[in-house]
Amino acid sequence: MIFERGHFSSNIIQKSNITESLNEVRYFNSETAYSTKPTVFLSHKHNDLNDEQELRGFMGKLQELGARIYIDSMDNKMPNQTSGDTAIRIKEVIKFCNKFILLATDTAIESFWCNWELGISDTHKYIEHMAILPIKEKGTNDFQYKGNEYLQIYPRIDYEDGTNSYRNNGGIIPEGYYVSKPINKEGVRYITSLKKWLNE
C-alpha cells in the first residue's frame, strides 16, 4: 500500500520518548550511540513535513518496536551550512546505522539529498537493510505517486489489516506493519514483520 499523508500523525506518541530520542540524535556519536538497540537512519525532506507530525508519528512507531532513530536535520554536529563535511557526516552515520528508511513523499523523491542518501544506503546497507516508506498526498490516487519506480526496486513498508492470507499455507497475515520485497518474477511478494526486520 501507499500510505496517505497523515497516516502516522495520528499515532499516540509518548512525548518523553520522542524528546529522549531527539536528544540522543543531537549528540550522536558512532563510537558509543545506540549499542543495545537497532538503529535506523530516517531520511526525509527537511521542509516537507512542516508540523513534523508525520515524522514524529513514524518515529513513535519505530520506538514502539524497539528501534533508535537518527535524523540528520536534528544532529547538532552537522555544519550550519551544507558542505562537504555534511556529506561526510551523513555517510558516516548511514554506514553505522543498522537500517535505512526513506520517508518517500513526492517531494523527498525529487530531493537531491534524499536521493543521494538512498544511493549511499544502497552501497553500504544493501537491499536487506533498507526500505522505502511510500507516502502520497491526501486525496490522490496510487498511480499519481511519483515514487512508483522506487517500489519496483526497493523493499517498502506496508500495512496488513488482518484480512489477507499467506499464499503458501493460506493462514491469515496478522494485522501490523511489514517490510515487503518487490514482487518477483513468479509474482510472489515476500514480507517480514517490521519488528523482525529491524532486529535482523
CATH number at residue 100: 3.40.50.10140
Q: Which residue has the higher pLDDT, 16 or 122?
A: 122
Q: In this model, does residue 83 exceed pLDDT 90?
A: no
Structure confidence at residue 27 as a pLDDT band (50, 70, 90): low
Give me the number of domains the chain comprises. Answer: 1
Say how many Å lie between the first and final Cα of the chain, rounded: 23
Q: Which residue has the higher pLDDT, 54 or 22?
A: 54
Spatial separation of the C-alpha atoms in residues 66 and 59, rounded to whole Å:
11
Q: In this model, does residue 141 exceed pLDDT 50?
A: yes
> Looking at residues 75-80, what average pLDDT do you find?
67
Give me the pLDDT at residue 25, please: 54
> Looking at residues 13-25, what average pLDDT do you find?
53
> Looking at residues 21-25, what average pLDDT do you find?
56
Give ∠ CA 108-25-151 in degrees, rounded to 5: 30
Give residue 58's domain range.
3-199
Q: In this model, does residue 16 exceed pLDDT 50?
A: no
Spatial separation of the C-alpha atoms in residues 90 and 30, rounded to whole Å:
11
